[in-house]
Every structure is written in C-alpha cells, then in structure tokens.
Copies of this chain bind each other. A is one copy, B any other.
C-alpha cells in the first residue's frame, strides 16, 4: 500500500502506528497473504493487465515499481499511483479493472486468484483484515493525491512528490526516480516541460540538486516542506 501519498499529512496521520505488518493475532510472524501467492515477473514497460480486462487476479509488489494508469481516446494519460514493495493492486469489486497496470521497472510480483483469496478470507478474518488495511491506506493516498491535482501549483506538486519519495525509500536526502519525466508529469497532472522547468528552478535555488535526471538530492528539505505545505 501507499501509492505515493503527497503532503506531510499522511505521514502525520500515522506517527507510530505503522502498517500492522503482522496479522493481528497470528502465532508466527506470517502475513496471511503469503501462502496464497504465485510468483510473476514483468519486464520494464510491459503491461500487467489492461483497463477493462476481467479482474480475475490481484497482485502484490515484491520488487520494482508499477504504475496504474488510464489513457483517454485523444492520448491524455493519468497515472493514479506508483506502487512499490508491499502494495496490493488489482483488487476490485466490479468484474473489471478500472485502470491498466504497467511495469515501470522490471518487477517481481505475487499473483493471487481473487476467487481463492475470497475463499480463504471466509476462514481467516485476519486475511480479510489484511486486505482491508492495504486498501484503506491506498484510499487515503488517493485522497491526498486529489488535493494535489485539484489545488496545488506545479512547484507544490513537485515538492510533495519528492518528499513522498524520500519518505518511502528512507535513505536520507537522496531520491532515486524509478520513472521517467513523462511518468512524473502524468502522475502530477502536468506536462514533461513543466516538470523539467520546475525541477530546474528548484535546482537553481539550491533546494535540490541532480547530475542525472533520475537521482535527486534534497538539499533543503525544509524549503520543500514549506512548498508542499500540507494542511
């Protein structure tokens, strides 16, 4: 779960709570989903499933990054989420996927049959609970993303995005962008040019720095946080 939340808000909401990685009352430390999955691999830019496909399976990311996206007839694209390790996707209660899922990088996944998960959930409340947690976190992320798309300026969007990334890959002030500029643009509701210009501007101001486009250093996260603003 997670799906790239923006603004400090999400982090704020879950100060020490953190995930409940283990089942509420599980004897061992086993995630209730672990036994049900089958391994699957996709290489960079492969489609995992298409919007409109019948939704027989859902997946969990083991490594790599996945994007959920939709393209309009005339080619406009929106990315709803970038998913990374631990995130569940493809769970829908209608018969069909609403968004396509594509591999941003080479990815390894666990693939679950919806029917089998449903079945197993009847016996194990912990399993249902687990899926519920994953979904509710994604919903919170989506809501934060709505604020970003509906009400934030380009600079604020970029700042929120970068801060989200550092939080998820807690490696100090350094961020590895798994996705290209176009992906970032389509996630943030901007154009590539605006993303590029805005990042260059932040660089000129000394707030961030980067030699290659895919590896960014946050020089003044304070300034970024001020931009991201949150609520």
Q: Contact residues of A with B, CB < 8 Å?
A: 9-10, 12-15, 17, 20, 51-52, 68, 70-74, 76-78, 80-81, 91-99, 118, 121-123, 125, 128-129, 131-133, 135-140, 142-147, 149-151, 186, 188-189, 229-231
Contacts and interface: CB of A to CB of B under 8 A. Distances in A.
28 contacts: A9-B51, A12-B52, A13-B52, A13-B92, A13-B98, A14-B95, A15-B95, A17-B93, A20-B93, A51-B231, A72-B151, A72-B229, A72-B231, A76-B151, A77-B151, A80-B143, A93-B132, A93-B137, A121-B125, A125-B125, A125-B128, A128-B128, A138-B139, A142-B143, A145-B146, A146-B146, A146-B149, A149-B149
A125 B51 CA distance: 29
A142 B93 CA distance: 14
A158 to B, nearest CB: 14
B121 A122 contact: no
Contact of A98 (B125, B144, B186): B144
Contact of A189 (B72, B93, B98, B151): B151
